[in-house]
């Protein structure tokens, strides 16, 4: 099997601990290089994770003609610059979420990607876990009747003020970091786009970023989506779909690998019946990598395209517009 050769821009924790190991577990991709502006960091990570090549600059890695694609786990505010440069160097791109800070930036990336005939995918890994397909199957079977509402939450308490998630200049904020999952899950599970958004933000101690974001998505068919994200609350990562005859709850929606047994849990509660729990295994990071690599090596469309990412970014942007104006925002 031909393996996609991937270079990594930066030694960020998410790359070291999750995505690089997932690439190494995959059947159709391999990490062949890592770059850091601190070459000693690159060498240390390369030794720990058995990566053969290191570079002291991101551009040097992009100039390596043997590399097919790059994975970018840089701070949010740096995504656009380096995704664009990677595209210009004819590299396919897997970039951490949010891929950009607004829709206009992503439109620019889309144009450059098309001009250079490369794939760009936002790394929303959670959606590749099979537990979400189980939810969709239950909904399609009418298990809970007509859907009326969905809620999604992702939060954890963050007290470290030096953390980049609290740095406005680097694209910090709870919505960009974890709230995007709540928004994505509602859109993904309902398979619809909201027509209006209303959101409220909280900024702890004048940190310059939203440390809590809550809001409502309204859909044309009357379904309501309730979302929240926070650095001020205890750890929660769940969603629930509410219908006329019951509910479906996913208790480890975004990081099922952190649950006690490492599996996803889908809990079906139908009126008048005992709850039914489905325990579902899946390696979401590796499944994401394999889909990305398969699309490139077989020249097929990505399962999560740049247009899908653009729709997501338009909603995130609307959330921020609504929270800043304290008004309902119509989604463009």
Catalytic residue set: 97
* Chain center to CA of 128: 11
Reported for 110-117, long-range contacts at CB under 8 A and 24+ positions apart, including other chains, are 110/306, 110/307, 110/310, 112/84, 112/87, 112/88, 113/87, 113/306, 115/87, 116/87, 116/88, 116/90, 117/90
C-alpha closest to that of 164 among 154, 174, 153: 174
Phi first, then psi: what are they for 183, rounded to 5°? Answer: -60, -45
How many Cβ atoms are within 10 Å of 305's Cβ, its own excluded? Answer: 16
Phi first, then psi: what are they for 161, rounded to 5°? Answer: -75, -10
C-alpha angle 132/23/27, rounded to 5°? 85
């Amino acid at each position: 099997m031909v393996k996609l050769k991937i270079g990594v821009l930066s030694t960020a924790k998410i790359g070291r601990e999750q995505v690089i190991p997932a690439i190494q577990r995959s059947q159709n991709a391999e990490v062949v290089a890592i770059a850091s502006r601190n070459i000693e960091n690159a060498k240390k990570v390369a030794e720990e994770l058995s990566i053969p090549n290191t570079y002291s600059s991101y551009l040097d890695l992009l100039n390596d003609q043997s590399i097919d694609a790059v994975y970018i786990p840089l701070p949010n505010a740096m995504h656009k610059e380096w995704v664009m440069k990677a595209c210009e160097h004819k590299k396919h791109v897997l970039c951490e979420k949010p891929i950009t800070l607004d829709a206009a930036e992503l439109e620019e990336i889309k144009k450059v990607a098309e001009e250079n005939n490369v794939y760009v995918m936002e790394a929303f890994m959670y959606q590749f876990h099979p537990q979400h397909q189980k939810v969709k199957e239950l909904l399609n079977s009418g298990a809970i009747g007509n859907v009326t509402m969905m809620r999604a939450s992702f939060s954890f308490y963050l007290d470290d003020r030096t953390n980049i998630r609290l740095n406005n200049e680097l694209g910090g904020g709870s919505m960009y970091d974890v709230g995007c999952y709540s928004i994505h899950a509602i859109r993904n599970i309902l398979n619809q786009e909201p027509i209006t958004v209303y959101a409220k933000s909280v900024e702890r101690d004048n940190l310059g970023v939203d440390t809590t974001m809550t809001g409502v998505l309204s859909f044309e068919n009357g379904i309501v989506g309730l979302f929240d994200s926070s650095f001020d609350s205890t750890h929660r990562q769940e969603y629930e779909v509410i219908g006329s005859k019951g509910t479906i709850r996913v208790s480890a929606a975004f990081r099922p690998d952190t649950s006690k047994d490492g599996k996803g849990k889908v809990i079906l509660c139908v009126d008048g019946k005992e709850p039914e729990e489905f325990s579902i295994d899946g390696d979401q990071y590796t499944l994401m990598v394999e889909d990305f690599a398969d699309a490139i090596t077989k020249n097929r469309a990505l399962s999560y395209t740049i247009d899908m990412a653009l729709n997501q970014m338009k909603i995130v942007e609307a959330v921020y517009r609504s929270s800043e104006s304290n008004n309902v925002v119509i989604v463009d």
